[in-house]
Amino acid sequence: EIVLAIVELLSGKKPLAGKRVLITAGGTVERLDPVRYITNDSSGKMGFALAEAARDQGADVTLVCARTDGPPPAGVRIVKAESAEEMRAAVLARLPEADAVVKAAAVADYRPSVRHGSKMKKGPDRLTLELERTPDILQAIGDWKREAEASGAARSPLPFVVGFAAETDDVERNALDKLARKRCDLIVANDVSREGAGFGADTNIVSVYGAEGLIEALPLQSKRAVAERLWKLVRERAGWEEPGR
Amino acid sequence: EIVLAIVELLSGKKPLAGKRVLITAGGTVERLDPVRYITNDSSGKMGFALAEAARDQGADVTLVCARTDGPPPAGVRIVKAESAEEMRAAVLARLPEADAVVKAAAVADYRPSVRHGSKMKKGPDRLTLELERTPDILQAIGDWKREAEASGAARSPLPFVVGFAAETDDVERNALDKLARKRCDLIVANDVSREGAGFGADTNIVSVYGAEGLIEALPLQSKRAVAERLWKLVRERAGWEEPGR
């Protein structure tokens, strides 16, 4: 497979040429007031690697970026989206034109119910912060696909959707549950509690699930190598190329 | 003054030679679970500029870093401290050997009362997050100075202490209040709601307060220029050089 990849590279073959892919990256920022926020350890590196790999394979790449550790890659279209709500809007607006969507961003599940207009002052020893659920973007994509199919108005095929699941417990069960509930095409699960996997690292250890269950478990490798493998799976499963080459 | 600074530079004069300075930088991270945290918009740039200026003036610099946007400057001693609690411990441990302490970090006022050992699952539509106060590091330094004086055991003089106040409302009142309550020597107040001031920017607009009130208001300038001016004020007020040179 490595040999084939090198052959493709040398021959200038672009297996994603003509494909429009939408990738999300980074950790969303949910503000309490003008200076404080809730976020997570996502560095954006997995999404950046996916964008670079797709770009190098000839895709037209749009990268929706929340907070990331470094600057995004060159040669891709950048859309800034700080919060889950902004990311939802950015993704849904671009969904109708996408051939594939890969949701590598770590989107907050909860946000403060109230955002204060000025910096909150120190007050009592304890306080409670009211949180509310953020929009579930993967669910919204699933709902959009279902409606598009029902109305018959959408182009065919609908975008191929890849979700990520960052878990510390019950990785497989949670990934399969997410896949079923949100009707996406692939779920990439990583156990962020494992050394060398997930947030901030340059490497990852992931398991890829489809509707039929575990497709493959990728051992520790660079995020770029994980990205190459994921695009290969997307191309096969989306019917863009024959499997097993 | 610029001419004098150039003369000092060319003559190799090191106005902070022999001084040990302790600087804090960045925004603290207060974790809810293994992947989520509360933080703030501090980039660490003001603390980095203070460290670079002190290093170039010949000081022995220790930089206590929380989360920052980029890597810290070279040529200074780096101590990592993610949370307010870690930063408190790092600062207090090094206080007895410091000639000056400049607290440029944006330390969280509140942290989650409970830190979950594994990633919290999505649950109900709303939830409340219980928060508790973090240790007040500037107050702890003030208390340490008072005890050192009372016991008579401390070396003299005690460290010269500079606090920062990032405010969006009532900047002057809050700065003077902080100065009085925590008995530090200078408070640098910046209104983070003003364009070009505070978090993330390469420039700042600050007002410097002493026990007698406003000392000077520095107009929009680079954080490095602000740092140079602050070290000048520290040298004068700590009695390390004659004022007004």
Active site residue A40: yes
pLDDT in tens, A204-221: 999 999 988 899 999 999
More confident residue, A153 or A41: A41
Residue of chain B whose alpha carbon sits nearest to that of A41? B35
CA dist A187 and A138 (Å) reads 11
Identify the residue among B33, B35, B164, B190 best suited for mutation to test binding to A, counting A beta carbons within 10 A and taking the highest.
B35
Q: For the packed helices A84-94 and A137-151, what is the interaxial angle rounded to 10 degrees?
A: 30
Chain B CB within 8 Å of residue A36 CB: yes
CA dist A65 and A68 (Å) reads 7
Sequence ranges of the domains in chain A: 14-111+131-237
For the cut 70, the answer to whether the pLDDT of residue A154 exceeds it is no
Nearest CA-CA distance, residue A6 and chain B, Å: 35
pLDDT in tens, B133-173: 999 999 999 999 888 888 876 667 889 999 998 776 777 78
More confident residue, B93 or A11: B93
Tokens of A164: 């990520």
For the cut 60, the answer to whether the pLDDT of residue A245 exceeds it is no
For the cut 80, the answer to whether the pLDDT of residue B1 exceeds it is no
Question: What are the chain B neighbours of A113 within 8 Å (beta carbons)?
Answer: 126
Whether residues A109 and B122 touch (CB distance < 8 A) is answered with: yes
Number of CB atoms found within 10 A of residue B92's CB: 15
Nearest CA-CA distance, residue A128 and chain B, Å: 5
Nearest CA-CA distance, residue B2 and chain A, Å: 34
Whether residues A128 and B132 touch (CB distance < 8 A) is answered with: no
Chain A CB within 8 Å of residue B106 CB: yes
Identify the residue among B67, B129, B199 best suited for mutation to test binding to A, counting A beta carbons within 10 A and taking the highest.
B129
Among B41, B126, B131, whose Cβ lies nearest the Cβ of A113?
B126
* CATH architecture of the domain with range A14-111+131-237: 3-Layer(aba) Sandwich (3.40)
Under 8 Å CB-to-CB from B209, ≥6 apart: which residues? B172, B175, B176, B179, B186, B187, B188, B189, B215
CA dihedral A189, A195, A196, A198 (to 10 degrees): 40
According to CATH, what is the number of the domain B16-109+130-237?
3.40.50.10300
Q: For the packed helices A137-151 and A171-182, what is the interaxial angle rounded to 10 degrees?
A: 30
Mean pLDDT of chain A: 89
Handedness of CA B133, B135, B136, B142 (dihedral sign): positive
Whether residues B125 and A132 touch (CB distance < 8 A) is answered with: yes
Mean pLDDT of A113-129: 82
For the cut 80, the answer to whether the pLDDT of residue B191 exceeds it is no
Among B106, B109, B129, whose Cβ lies nearest the Cβ of A131?
B129
